[in-house]
Amino acid sequence: MEYDALKATQAYLILWKLIDRYFPESRWLELTDIPSEVLSSRIDTLANDQLSWFPEPEKLKDDIAKVKSFQGDLLAEDTIVRLSSLRTYLRDCALEYASGLSAEGDEPFWQR
């Protein structure tokens, strides 16, 4: 299957947001309340996907597993440090895959 930049972006946005939830200082930047069940459900869907639309399915599978391993954990200080690093990595992945998205022929919404 062909690489799907949208799916890749969405996957990493969801993964990032699940980890970002552990950092309450980020909530002032949010524009909506995404219920945790919605995120968890989408993660589960991803986990059951073959990920054939992603160039490196194993990498994405690993990242999904890492995120799932943190869910519901009580966080020790060293865990928070690792989590913070993972959060930054996932965010940067989401931004990187989004840079491959095309907005061809479409005016940005802030100019409409």
Measured distance CA(92)–CA(86) in Å, rounded: 10
Contact yes or no for 37/9 (Cβ under 8 A): no
State which of residues 61, 66, 68, 91 lies at the interface with other proteins (CB under 8 A): 91
Task: Give the shortest CB-50-to-other proteins separation in angstroms.
Answer: 21
Short-list 31, 96, 27, 36, CA closest to 70: 36
Q: Binding of other proteins at residue 103 (CB under 8 A)?
A: yes
Q: Which is nearer to other proteins, 65 or 101 (CB)?
A: 101
> How many of the other CB atoms lie within 10 Å of CB of 41?
12
Q: Binding of other proteins at residue 88 (CB under 8 A)?
A: yes
- Residues lying near other proteins in the complex (CB under 8 A) are found at 6, 9-10, 13-14, 16-17, 20, 24-34, 38, 88, 91-92, 94-95, 98-99, 101-103, 106, 108-110
